[in-house]
Each structure stands twice: as structure tokens, then as C-alpha cells.
Amino acid sequence: MTQRIYLIALVTGLLGASAAQAAEPTLAEKLCASYTQVESVSCRVRKTSEVDGKTATLLSQVYYQRPDRMHVENIAPVRRRIIADGRQFYYYVEGMAKGFSCPLTQLEGEWSIMQKSVPGSAMEHLLRLQGVPETPLDGTPDYPVRRGYVRQRVFVVLACGSEGRLARIEFFKKPDMQTKTAQINYSDFRKVTDTCWLAGLQQGTAYFGANTVRETRRFDNLVINKPITAGLFDAAAFFPKVDFVDDFSKLTDEIPKQKSK
């Protein structure tokens, strides 16, 4: 009888230990959760893309406020405005006949990830790794903490520096890491707390056969966790005469007629 009780206790203990281990968040989940310490962000974003010697630049003013409020004004080359007011999502390109709008609860895919991502964070990539098992990898002098994730025909590697900040994300075709398809470097950090940092500079490189695409994002004038004017999230104030459809595919294919300023 004593042996049976001991066996039951041992099995129960092992099951409890397994459950605790399974509940331990991955590095991707910890990093993503750290951005909940960001209540608000306002900044100027300059995104520069370079391919085949040609360069294109997108300028934006961005406001983010928790929960679920966002205002993105693309200034050049196309004037476009995106607003999330806490319940509803709005998208409109100046000169188009209609805009797109839907409840935030119905937002899917890239739209949902964009709306949830804190400016200057790595959330657009970390959100895709939530719930994905991780594989410990050997560290390097520059990146002592490295973890790998298998996701939809790509192997993603997160690399943190000695300070514990996410400093690089690498993408490979397979877990053997022989063929790299892209990487993103994070730098020029702004401290939010001891466990949360935003990157003022994000430099990405993607490899498509013989072609290399480079993208640089600069987040200037970063203001973190300061009040933002509530009117910036009032869609009615910015779209007084715009008709919205609830399906992005319903938008007209006509070329936007931009007004000169």
C-alpha cells in the first residue's frame, strides 16, 4: 500500500513538473509580452527600400495608444491614413472613391498584425511565433542567447545581445541554417523599462535568388508613454465625407487622384 501511494505521488509530481515546464513561455513570447509596458508611442517613420539600385522612401507620422488605438498618416509618396479607434479599423487613400473599414475583432492576417504592433518593436515578427515551440541554439560572442522556431517552411532565429535585448532576427529555409533568406538588425535602442526596449533603427535584408532587397526603418522623435490627444483617434474628424466598404477587395482599382500641396 505504501509503495502504491509513493508511486502515485511520484507520477503526480512528474506530471506537475511537465505541466509547469510546458507552461514556461518561449523567448519569443517573453519578448512580445514585454511590449505591454508601452502605453503610447508617437514618432516619425522613414522607411527606405532599395532593390536593383532603385530606392523608394515612405514617410509616416505614427501614433499608438493602448488599448487598440492607432493613427498612421503616410505623407509620401502616397497620402494614406489608417485609424483604429479602439473598436473600428479605417483605411483610406486620398483620391480613392471609397475606403475600407471593419471591426477590429474581424481584422485578420497582416492587417491585424500591423494594428497590434507597437512602433519601434519587433512585434510584427514575434506575433507570428506565439505558441510555436522553440529550439535552444548555441550562442555567439555577439549574441549569447539564440532560439530557433520552425514555422511554415521557414526557420526563424531570434538573437539577443548581452543586455537581453533582441538584436537580430534571421530567416532560413531549413533548420540546418545553410540557406539564409533574410535578416533584420535592431539598434539605436530607446529604453522603456529594464525589460523593454524600442529600436530606433531597423535594418532588413532579404535575398531573392540573385537579387538583394534592403529595407531601413528609422523611428525619429520617439515619444514614449506620454499623453496623446484623443482627437487623433476620432475617425469621423478625418473622414467626414468618405464612404467605407467592409471588404478590401471591394475597393476600386482606380489610381488615387492625389491633390497637390
Domains of the chain: 25-250 (2.50.20.10)
Q: What angle do CA 94, 51, 71 make, to 5 degrees?
A: 30
pLDDT at 170 > cutoff 90: yes
Helix then strand then coil, % of the chain, to nearest 5: 25, 45, 30
What per-residue confidence (pLDDT) applies to 256? 52
Residues 6+ apart with CB under 8 A from 42: 61, 62, 63, 64, 221, 222, 223, 226, 228
What's the predicted TM-score (pTM) here? Answer: 0.86
What per-residue confidence (pLDDT) applies to 114? 94
Q: What are phi and psi of 252, to 5 degrees?
A: -65, 150
Residue 5: band (very low, low, confident or very high) from pLDDT cuts 50, 70, 90: very low
Identify which of 128, 135, 240 has the alpha carbon closest to the alpha carbon of residue 177: 135
- CB-count burial class (<10 Å; 0-12, 13-18, 19+) for 64: buried
Q: Quick one: average pLDDT of 189-209?
A: 96
Pairing between β-strand 243-245 and β-strand 98-103 as defined by DSSP bridges = parallel
Q: Quick one: average pLDDT of 26-46?
A: 98
Give the Cα separation of 156 and 218 in Å (integer). 23
H or E, element range at 110: helix 109-116
pLDDT at 214 > cutoff 70: yes
Residue 90: band (very low, low, confident or very high) from pLDDT cuts 50, 70, 90: very high
pLDDT at 7 > cutoff 50: no
State the sign of the Cα–Cα–Cα–Cα dihedral 165, 168, 174, 178. Answer: negative
